[in-house]
Amino acid sequence: MSFKVAVVGATGNVGHEMLDILAERAFPVSEVVALASQRSVGTEVSFGDKTLKVKALDHYDFSDTDICLMSAGGAVSKEWSPKIGAQGAVVIDNSSTWRMHPDVPLIVPEVNAAAAAGFAKMNIIANPNCSTAQLVVALKPLHERFGIKRVVVSTYQSVSGAGKEAMDELFNQTRSVFSAGEVASKKFPKRIAFNLIPQIDVFMEDGFTKEEWKMMAETKKILDPKIKLTATCVRVPVFIAHSESVNIECEKPVTAEEAREILRTAPGILVIDKHEPGGYITPHEAAGEDATYISRIREDNTVENGLAFWCVSDNLRKGAALNAVQIAEVLVNRKLIQPRKQAA
């Protein structure tokens, strides 16, 4: 069986990754269509060894499309995802628009793949926030064994999480610093080159940012509503891959060695944890890779049943495009959808 797949937002960072990953993983496609706004019509994008010409979302007929990977931002998804779903295609959306909707499953396949079966109410499945995706992959096997009560996480998020303009801003600011030129900030509220910004997304009434709230709310929906989580999200001058410092409190006693062995056998995780200089993963090594990497696993004796670890993953892949394609694979492998052309 093969499926017709549309990628909306095909000219963006995540759209490019979606096309690459569909090809890399040999997803069973009968046809792939690249879609974007009117101004991108005719632009060429790569899909494996093929070149696709971008078509306009506004005029596209989804009546014979099986899966739509949506990565065109919240406003586009809010308008178009229900329309596309109503035409019978399953939308896998990368924006925050539908994540907390009660009729839309929020899926990380290594964590809650079975919940994907609930897509039929709206024909929409939500991809979680990039920082949430890698976190819950790491938390799931530990929660199953030790019962996680509380999580304290500090993120170190790359600029690619804010899009191509943000990556360009880091590049241009860095160049300006070295050439003694003007350091202009447009995408970020403060200079990002050789700096850290303790704000991602807008501030909420309680002082947390929306990015921090997303991590709290999404972790509860995906993993367990009883888990208490607090987050501090920081933008760092790294192009690709998010890092997280994670501290957990468990219901049952936990040792670093036991946690290390559990994580080593968990799906989607690679443990690199040697107690020596360089015996850990950094964003530089994680960029372009599919795994969620865990390092610096150690017991935290300041709390009962405490554990700390370092978590790194490519936010454009596991945090977005890879997770979306994995969700599509769940739909196919669990026979939750059938090709519409063949079925007809």
Residue closest to 32 by CA, chosen among 19, 44, 21: 19
How far apart, in Å, are the Cα atoms of 343 and each of 4, 30, 86, 118, 213? 13, 14, 18, 21, 42
Q: Is 130 a catalytic residue?
A: yes
Catalytically annotated residue among 130, 233, 250, 311: 130
- Answer for the pair 297, 273: CB distance below 8 angstroms, yes or no: yes
Q: Is 296 annotated as a binding residue?
A: no
Rounded-to-integer distance, Cα 294 and Cα 282, Å: 10
Q: Is 157 annotated as a binding residue?
A: yes
* Burial status of residue 140 (CB atoms within 10 A of its CB: 0-12, 13-18, 19 or more): buried
Sheet holding 148-157: strands in order across?
Answer: 228-235, 148-157, 242-250, 306-313, 292-300, 269-271
Residue 233 annotated among the catalytic residues of the structure? no
13 annotated as belonging to a binding site for a ligand? yes
Which position among 16, 143, 233, 242 bears the catalytic label?
A: 242
- Cβ count near 284 (within 10 Å): 12
CA distance to 11, 33, 226, 229, 246, per residue, from 139 (Å): 33, 35, 13, 12, 10
Q: Is 243 annotated as a binding residue?
A: no
**Does residue 40 have a known ligand-binding role?**
yes
Task: Tell me: is residue 99 an annotated ligand-binding position.
Answer: yes
> Is 260 among the annotated ligand-binding positions?
no
Residues 6+ apart with CB under 8 A from 171: none
Q: Is 11 annotated as a binding residue?
A: yes
39 labelled binding-site residue: yes
CB–CB of 200/132 below 8 Å?
no
List the binding residues. Answer: 11-14, 39-40, 99, 157, 160-161, 235, 315
Catalytic residues: 130, 242
List the binding residues for phosphate. Answer: 99
List the binding residues for NADP(+). Answer: 11-14, 39-40, 160-161, 315
